[in-house]
Amino acid sequence: MASDFEGELRKWGNSYAVRVPKDVVESEGLREGARVRLLVLRRPRPGAWGALRGWKLDPQAMKDELREEHDW
């Protein structure tokens, strides 16, 4: 059986840890020291999409640069 939960990464000494809720531990029959696999799904930080707002990109300059890299 696989359980799905959302946790928060916390600093623990020189490492990081994710707390697993008690109900997940119990339903999976886990004990301290059990080996588990963690799938990391990143979510964009709030406001991250606007971080490059106002950044101007010249499409023609980009095309010219790409053409220089290729030997057509």
The domain spans of the chain are 1-43
pLDDT at 35 over 80: yes
Q: How far apart are alpha carbons 30 and 65 in whole angstroms?
A: 55
Confidence of residue 50 (pLDDT cuts 50, 70, 90): low
Give the dihedral of Cα atoms 39, 42, 43, 49; nearest 10 deg.
-160
User: 1 vs 40, which has greater pLDDT?
Assistant: 40
User: 70 vs 72, which has greater pLDDT?
Assistant: 70
Residues 20, 7 contacting (CB under 8 angstroms): yes
Give the dihedral of Cα atoms 63, 64, 70, 72; nearest 10 deg.
100
Closest to 43 in 3D by CA, of 9, 12, 15:
9
